[in-house]
Structure 1
Amino acid sequence: MDSTTSEILHDFVNLMRVYKDGRIERFEGNDIVPASVDPITGVQSKDVEIAPEIGVGARLYLPANADRQHKLPVLVYFHGGCFMIQNPFSKTYATHLNALVSQANVVVVSVDYRLAPEHPLPVAYEDSWVAIKWVASHFKGDGQEPWLKDYVDFERVFLSGDSAGGNIAHNMAIRLGSEKFDGINILGLVLNHPFFWGEEPIGNEGAETNYHSKVLMDRLWRFVNPSTVGSDDPMLNPAKNQDLPSLGCSKVLVCVAEEDLLRDRGWYYYEVLAKSGWKGKVEIMETKGENHVFHLYNPTCESAVAMVKRVATFLNQRED
């Protein structure tokens, strides 16, 4: 291989490498597993096309005990990976969502949105919006997907995601605050270690030991979103979004991890949302001694099991 071919333009360690000749190496999300019936939980999964003309699809999950007579909540899930790696079909997400579907007894639509840098932001946001509209198109018994038509209670729709997927879920809820769909109720939002940031450091972000991490986060955001105004972009820093009080759901659960660089941003989101004038209820769960998206990399540990249980409880709480 000659020096021109092997020259690196962008190197995000353990995530992605972009070479001068245009080649892209992704270091996570390559372990694709087929849709199936999970032998541990009995959860069924299948892959569907949502907008094949642009490459948007999803993996759907159905609990083992699903019954057409008892409609279930539906969770629209957005995977993480800094907007540039991972997908709904990797072993990481199959394992996590099989466990969550089994515990919470919900239908899940795990969205396959297009990734940067081939498809820089806002493509992932637009793809995710297409997926939400596709889910909503089934609420009158219309649409082509029987798992949505036959099993879903469209008064109990949730959005969720981890890391970059948490960012997407939040921004979809912001958009739903102004662009509502008839017949579908976005009841809640679950943000797992969401990727939020800002120009001015808060909490431990300002520590000298985190200087290089701050530079990396700023650089990563500009890499996946070249048209951004910077790290105070309202899509990245919710505190800068004037539409925050109009968040289009009635309750939010924010999950953070004690050792995560993004921990303070999760707490900041919780505090800013609670004071914004938004009329809903926001809760927060902090997991001690754990790091960013630990539940994906160590799904059977005690902390991960407890986190899934808390999310399941949130999804099934009936409103007063």
Structure 2
Amino acid sequence: MADSTNAAEVVHDLFPFLRIFKDGRVERYKGADTVPPSLDPKTNVESKDVMISPETGQSARVYLPTNLQNPNIKLPLLVYFHGGGFVIETAFSPTYHNYLNTLVGESNVIAVSVEYRRAPEEPLPTAYDDSWTALKWVASHSNGNGPEDWLNRLADLGNVYFAGDSAGGNIAYHMCMRYGREKLEGVEVSGVVLIHPYFWGSEAIGSELKESIKRQFIEKLWRFAYPTTSGCDDPWINPLADPNMAGLGCSRVLICVGEKDLLRDRGWLYYEKLKESGWRGVVEIMESKEEDHVFHLIKPTGENAEAMLKKIVSFINQGKA
């Protein structure tokens, strides 16, 4: 008979994200709630869930604005990767469902919100592999005969954007780097939006110098999500450690940072280094004053959140460089 007291012992506590018990159970403190797809009356955006990989059970949520001015004109395609430190949240959470409804409604794009498997059940690099699988699924629609009708009829795969926040920003960046190396037949990536991207490094910079406890947590989370990582200068978490920075597979980048976010200085540093890397594109950065990490998801109707949304919409609607 199992010792219930022993089984209830917590062996990892990563508050405010999750904890793991000795018997292997994972309990997430937040980011576990989900909502079904819908026709959202506020934004006139319809959504549905699609299967991407029956082998792994991977799926995604697709969003489509219903008030199309001309159904014969194809729309830009946005591929979005949710955040959550690689360990919590989902493409189907209320937070991301509401945000994608708003973003799709304002920018008039089709969006694919990618669901990827999370650590610790599926440690990194699984999330990266799943995200690339989702992009190959998107590319399967390039000839108009893919499995999803909305993409076949209405998505312009010659004008694709990647975007994500926090860990999702990290994923969006790496998907654009992989696209730069391998390409996807029939797909042209116009730009990438990195919202408060989860980038890091072993040497403290800027405001990090005064935040040793927070630094320790960020590093602990990274090593927890990616047990086989080489550390905090692994190119997966520190893009500056990649000698091929200039291989980013798009011509336009928008980086969003928050003034009070501990990841702020990493965003600014990446902005500066990308410009110096030899990459032949245009990079912009927007800083939201007095705001912390992913504030736009926590208070989406605030003035700064609306300003950031407007900037992202404008970036996408500028089209290809």
TM-score (norm 2): 0.97
Deviations 1:76-128 (A, max 9, x none): 00000000100011100011111100110011100000000010000000000
Q: Which amino acid aligns with 1:156?
A: N
Does 2:53 match 1:51? yes
* Structure 2 counterparts to residues 292-311 of structure 1, below 5 A: 292-311=293-312
Deviations 1:40-65 (A, max 9, x none): 11100000000021121100000122
Determine the structure 2 residue equivalent to 1:266.
Answer: 267
Q: Is the contact between residue 55 and residue 114 of structure 1 (CA under 8 Å) also seen in structure 2?
A: no
- Give the distance between the partners of 2:72 and 2:267, measured in 1 at CA: 38
SS of 2:201's equivalent in the other structure is coil
Moved over 6 A (4+): none
Q: Which amino acid aligns with 1:49?
A: M
Determine the structure 2 residue equivalent to 1:23.
Answer: 25
Q: Is the contact between residue 159 and residue 320 of structure 2 (CA under 8 Å) also seen in structure 1?
A: no
- Give the deviation of 1:13 after TM superposition: 1.1
Determine the structure 2 residue equivalent to 1:277.
Answer: 278
- Give the distance between the partners of 2:302 and 2:12, measured in 1 at CA: 34
- Give the distance between the partners of 2:320 and 2:183, measured in 1 at CA: 20
Determine the structure 2 residue equivalent to 1:231.
Answer: 232
- Give the distance between the partners of 2:33 and 2:41, measured in 1 at CA: 18
* Structure 2 counterparts to residues 244-259 of structure 1, below 5 A: 244-259=245-260
Determine the structure 1 residue equivalent to 2:184.
Answer: 181
- Give the distance between the partners of 2:138 and 2:34, measured in 1 at CA: 24
- Give the deviation of 1:14 after TM superposition: 1.5
Determine the structure 2 residue equivalent to 1:7.
Answer: 9
Does 2:218 match 1:217? yes
Q: Which deviates more from structure 2 when the two are superposed, residues 102-111 or residues 28-37? A: 28-37
- Give the distance between the partners of 2:224 and 2:177, measured in 1 at CA: 23
The RMSD of aligned alpha carbons is: 1.1
Determine the structure 1 residue equivalent to 2:114.
Answer: 111
Give 1:76's match in structure 2, choosing from 47, 64, 79: 79
Determine the structure 2 residue equivalent to 1:287.
Answer: 288
- Give the deviation of 1:2 after TM superposition: 4.0
Determine the structure 2 residue equivalent to 1:163.
Answer: 166
- Give the deviation of 1:12 after TM superposition: 1.1
- Give the distance between the partners of 1:175 and 1:319, measured in 2 at CA: 19
Give 1:143's match in structure 2, choosing from 124, 142, 146: 146
- Gaps of at least 5 residues in structure 1 are none
- Give the distance between the partners of 1:2 and 1:221, measured in 2 at CA: 30
Q: Which deviates more from structure 2 when the two are superposed, residues 21-30 or residues 305-314? A: 21-30
- Give the deviation of 1:144 after TM superposition: 1.2
Q: Is the contact between residue 190 and residue 320 of structure 2 (CA under 8 Å) also seen in structure 1?
A: no
- Give the distance between the partners of 2:88 and 2:135, measured in 1 at CA: 21
Q: Which amino acid aligns with 1:306?
A: A
Deviations 1:280-303 (A, max 9, x none): 110000000110001111111111
SS of 2:62's equivalent in the other structure is strand
Q: Which deviates more from structure 2 when the two are superposed, residues 290-299 or residues 67-76? A: 67-76
Quick one: percent identity of the two aligned structures? 54
- Give the distance between the partners of 2:261 and 2:235, measured in 1 at CA: 22
Q: Which amino acid aligns with 2:276?
A: K
Give 2:62's match in structure 1, choosing from 45, 60, 69: 60
- Give the deviation of 1:319 after TM superposition: 4.1
- Give the deviation of 1:316 after TM superposition: 0.5
SS of 1:197's equivalent in the other structure is coil
Determine the structure 2 residue equivalent to 1:195.
Answer: 198
- Give the distance between the partners of 2:137 and 2:77, measured in 1 at CA: 13
- Gaps of at least 5 residues in structure 2 are none
Does 2:95 match 1:89? no
Q: Which amino acid aligns with 2:186?
A: G
- Give the distance between the partners of 1:319 and 1:138, measured in 2 at CA: 20
Q: Is the contact between residue 41 and residue 64 of structure 1 (CA under 8 Å) also seen in structure 2?
A: no
- Give the deviation of 1:218 after TM superposition: 1.1
- Give the distance between the partners of 1:232 and 1:122, measured in 2 at CA: 16
Determine the structure 1 residue equivalent to 2:129.
Answer: 126
- Give the distance between the partners of 2:38 and 2:186, measured in 1 at CA: 31
Deviations 1:8-41 (A, max 9, x none): 1111112111111111111222221110100211
SS of 1:131's equivalent in the other structure is helix
TM-score (norm 1): 0.97
Aligned residues: 318
